[in-house]
Structure 1
Amino acid sequence: MSDVTGYMPQPSQPRLSLPVGACDCHTHVFGPQSTFPYADNALFRPQDAPKEVLFALHEHLGIDRCVIVQSGCHGFDNSAMLDAMKARPGQYLGVALAPVDISEASLAGLAEQRVRGIRFNFMPHLDAAASPEEIVAFSRRLEKYGMHLQVHLHHTLIKSIGETLQQAATPVVIDHMGRIDASQGRDQAAFNALMTLMENERFLVKVSGCDRASALGSPYTDAVPFAQKLVKHFPDRVLWGTDWPHPNLKGGPPDDGILVDILEGIAPDPLHRKALLVDNPARFYDF
């Protein structure tokens, strides 16, 4: 466990103008710890990244809507996320962390507050809250609330866990392109497994995390082609997010202005870019 360096306080001004209604489908809020303390068993303890800084970032980047994803440092206490959502009603929705044995009343309460899904982690640095089989069973409870599964998994697990998740009763969102490693080349087994998984219309994928996938660093030219291919082949089932404030990222935080500008490479067709940023989030999250 260690303190984690946070976001870049003054990101560059993007050259790219985003379409009206653009959505950042993957951000977090951390703390402030004086109000929303971290879980006692938190595996990482980032610096505060409160809602006010997130709102200012989105104004700077030209982003109108957002999906806040609950972070493991707060455990199953979704209070910081819900507080940020309430400050921007209708514009900011959420994806929570919850155990598969969450009470029906608590699950209904999250849905009523416009939490749109529940996230599960399968990454070495994070605790796995349930097995893939348990998650599939849990999806049947989510279905009646119109909620979805979101999974954050290591690239070596795309094929094995993906096969199980095809039995889910709800849509399944794959985070950060399945955490592929761009250094392994464009014909790597993990990305091929992701492309195969996406043939199932139950799945969506976030073409976020180029900064995490890249071996070359900014502007992530080795990682952008993977995102571009997903957008080209599955234009109606791709989502995008900054992943601000970029937790657990070695080498320091990226420039969020650059993350916006590489959208020209990720989605060079303006119609695909509008679908990625506006139409798909509006439809899927029901803004």
Structure 2
Amino acid sequence: MSAFIADADWLCFDPAPSKPDFTPPPGAVDAHCHVFGPGDVFPYAPERKYTPCDAGRDQLYRLRDFLGFDRNIIVQATCHGTDNRAMIDALAHSKGKARGVATVGADISAGEIAAMHAAGVRAVRFNYVRRLVDPRPDAHYRAIIDRIAAHGWHIVIYFEAADLAEKWAFFTSLPITIVVDHMGRPDVTKSPDGPEFAQFLRFMEHGNIWSKVTCPERLSKSPPPGYDDFVPFARAVVDRFPDRVLWGTDWPHPNMNMVGHMPDDGALMDIIPRIATNADLQHRLLVANPMRLYWPEEVDA
């Protein structure tokens, strides 16, 4: 029996999602997903703020094949802290079809970074969501950026809409490619033409900023499977910044107990043509953009 028992209110991923009507283009990349454990092999961090159900690499890759993706970007889960072994193990078993986003400390060595790069890591993630982590001072993150610069890595930032104004000066000062998780978690009950989302679109006008147009199941107040209030926000970002957007499943959908339901991954796929409304936009979102960011050596070959 596992030494780690999931939180009593934890919602585990759907083991039998529906087959989506939408077929992704060849070479499509699920650009935001996670692996959890299994905890007996890759223990969860003592400082974690949640304990999930196990959701390992084999389950992730079965979902990839079922949905019609070719590749994955695996983002280090906060429940594993800075112990990236579960994510790196998933990369090692991907046959070159996955890249990773790590969580690291400011004391990480050049040798450790080089080893992670060889394993397929191409970015680090900075999480500012206070219910999940305790954010650090700006100097902590700048030290990490200085250490990863030699390998050409980018950073992924996760924050909530209300945090953008506070962190604006810091984020816009960074001389590095920045990928924003989930459009900065906008309040989708408000107008996509309103001042709050306009601030995010101004942020995106900086040419080094990318965004994941992800997580309708997490952001929406509309019922599934349509998540209708999410669609105009994501469509606005895709239409305006088609070469700097990514899409991912967010499997296995952590902390959905806070929302109250576990999504059907097949139904989530069927939102893609509603936010990327033609084949060209879909190819950029799912193939060209993630390949350029995570496998540039194949794009430039």
Return 5+ residue gaps in structure 1 as ranges: none
Tell me the equivalent position of 1:267.
Answer: 276
Confirm whether residue 123 of structure 1 aligns to residue 133 of structure 2: no
Paired residues in the alignment total: 287
Assess if the C-alpha contact under 8 Å between 1:21 and 1:278 holds in 2.
yes
Residues 36-84 of structure 1, C-alpha deviation per residue, up to 9 Å, x if partnerless?
1111121100101011111111111001010000001111111110111
Identity %: 39
Tell me the equivalent position of 1:228.
Answer: 235
Tell me the equivalent position of 2:7.
Answer: 2
Residues 150-169 of structure 1, C-alpha deviation per residue, up to 9 Å, x if partnerless?
10001101233133111212
Tell me the equivalent position of 1:102.
Answer: 108
TM-score normalised by the chain length of structure 2: 0.91
Assess if the C-alpha contact under 8 Å between 2:98 and 2:120 holds in 1.
no
Residues 145-192 of structure 1, C-alpha deviation per residue, up to 9 Å, x if partnerless?
110111000110123313311121210000011011211222343321
Secondary structure (helix, strand or coil) at the match of 1:5 reads: coil
Secondary structure (helix, strand or coil) at the match of 2:126 reads: strand
Secondary structure (helix, strand or coil) at the match of 1:169 reads: coil
Distance 1:157 1:119 in 2: 16
Tell me the equivalent position of 2:3.
Answer: none
1:38-49 pair list within 5 angstroms: 38-49=44-55
1:154-173 pair list within 5 angstroms: 154-173=160-179
Assess if the C-alpha contact under 8 Å between 2:105 and 2:144 holds in 1.
no
Return 5+ residue gaps in structure 2 as ranges: 1-5
For residue 99 of structure 1, report the CA deviation from its aligned partner: 1.2
Tell me the equivalent position of 1:251.
Answer: 260
For residue 281 of structure 1, report the CA deviation from its aligned partner: 0.5
Tell me the equivalent position of 2:39.
Answer: 33
Aligned CA RMSD, in angstroms, stands at: 1.5
1:128-139 pair list within 5 angstroms: 128-139=134-145
Residues 203-251 of structure 1, C-alpha deviation per residue, up to 9 Å, x if partnerless?
1000001111111121111001101110000000000111001001221
Assess if the C-alpha contact under 8 Å between 1:179 and 1:213 holds in 2.
yes
Assess if the C-alpha contact under 8 Å between 1:155 and 1:179 holds in 2.
yes
Of 51, 67, 71, which residue of structure 1 is paired with 2:73?
A: 67
